[in-house]
Amino acid sequence: MLSDNRLDIRPIRAAFLGGGKSSAVGRAHYAAIHLDGLFKLTAGCFSRNRKENIESAHVYGVPEQNCCSSYEDLIKLHNTEFDALIVLTPTNQHYAAISSCLAHGVTVISEKSLVTSLKEAKKLAELQAKSNSYLCVTYNYTGYPMTRELRALVQQGALGEVQQVMLEMPQEGFIRLDTNGNPVIPQKWRLSDSTVPTVSLDLGAHLQMFIEFLTGQDVQEVIATTNSYGNFTEIDDSVSCIARYHSGMTCHFWYTKAALGYRNGMRIRLFGSKGSAEWTQTEPEILHLADSSGRRSTLDRGSPDVSECNKLRYTRFKAGHPAGYIEAFANYYADVASEISQLTSGEPVSSPYVFGVEKEVKSMALMEAIHLSSASRKWVAVDG
């Protein structure tokens, strides 16, 4: 693992597939990988548009000779010009590029969701095992120090047996109007659903990974309903789901892009036999707790009785000066860098915070079951 100073390894040379200068996700990943000096962007295929591609290379400080027009050409630069490829293209373009990367032994870091179906996830799992290449998926909300503190509390048994979980991620992007009263049009690829609707790939996957991250429990069956409430009636934009777990735990998922007033209202509530906890993405430095005696309390990075969130690796500045989304992303990337460093040194890859393809298989199994349940109006078993 990385030591707390976060600066004890040689910067990993990274390449972007997608994520050009006009891409919000590209700018976020660029900021996150450079925040602690653990990565350096040295190559890329940033856009299919030649002008945008070259301009992106200039903006990111990538030599023009390392700016490629296709992922096939980019793969040829592996080892000589970059060490790890970060995939930032639309999800429906991931499978072809990542499968080719794995076949050529390229280390891959993929933006979530990894792929668009359980079938594709299982195929990539087989390819990864066969090639012995490195593949991980970024779920940056799990990089917030307080969500990691919450995970530690669950593991320590501070909440007792986790019995009920409520996860929600409301957003308003598909129902908002612009200043002229017209719908705000998202990227074209977001307006087409595949085996798993895009809203589940965008939002539901985050919530599923939080359950995996916090409890490690496997889902048994789900019942769900999906709807289209926003401006784009040809796609689903809202999902409500109840999931039963093998342990007896139940989980309620609600995620939507048609909730006016919410830019990103991600909230997690865990209820156990001894206590409860609540974390909200818009107040990321605060963890609300309650115990069986009725006592309520809050924790932050400066609290005296925390065990994870106060580590030096999370303290780019002292508690009371909020860290946010990009810092959480950088925390996740620090763990990825640690795994890649271990892999390069021939050590076992061991970070508990990084999500590999096997967990993505579980996620896609749940996402598909949710939409099968909605279509059949029945409980559906989850086959991961």
135-150 mean pLDDT: 98
**CA 228 – CA 230 distance, rounded (Å):** 6
The yes-or-no verdict on residue 384 having pLDDT over 70 is no
Using an 8 Å Cβ cutoff, are 279 and 147 in contact? yes
Dihedral, CA atoms, 141, 262, 35, 347, nearest 10 degrees? 10
What are the Cα distances from residue 345, in Å, to 220, 237, 338, 342?
A: 38, 45, 11, 5
Q: What's the pLDDT score for residue 3? A: 52
- pLDDT of the residue at 191: 92
| pLDDT tens readout for residues 196-251 | 999 999 999 999 999 999 999 999 999 999 999 999 999 999 999 999 999 999 99
Model confidence at 8, pLDDT cuts 50, 70, 90, reads low
Domains in the chain (CATH in brackets) are 12-141+339-356 (3.40.50.720), 144-317+362-376 (3.30.360.10)
Is residue 5 very low, low, confident or very high in pLDDT (cuts 50, 70, 90)? very low
Residue in the structure block whose two tokens are 């996830």: 121
No. of helices (H) and no. of strands (E), the chain:
10, 15
Average pLDDT, the chain: 96
| Strand pairing category for 162-170 and 250-256 | parallel
Looking at per-residue pLDDT, the higher value among 354 and 349 belongs to 354
| Residue corresponding to tokens 């589940």 | 200
Q: In angstroms, how far is CA 292 from the centroid of its own chain?
A: 33
Tens of pLDDT, residues 9-20: 789 999 999 999
User: What pLDDT, in 10s, does the model give residues 278-301?
Assistant: 999 999 999 999 999 999 999 999
This prediction has a pTM of: 0.96
| Euclidean distance between CA atoms 324 and 19, whole angstroms | 21
- Does position 7 have pLDDT exceeding 60, yes or no? no
Question: Is the confidence at residue 323, as pLDDT, over 80?
Answer: yes
pLDDT at residue 118 in the model: 97
Region of residue 40 (left: phi > 0; alpha: psi -120 to 50; beta: else): beta
pLDDT digits (tens, 9 = 90+) for 36-82: 999 999 999 999 999 999 999 999 999 999 999 999 999 999 999 99
Judge whether residue 2 has pLDDT over 50.
no
DSSP 102-156: HHTT-EEEEESPS-SSHHHHHHHHHHHHHHT--EEEE-GGGGSHHHHHHHHHHHH
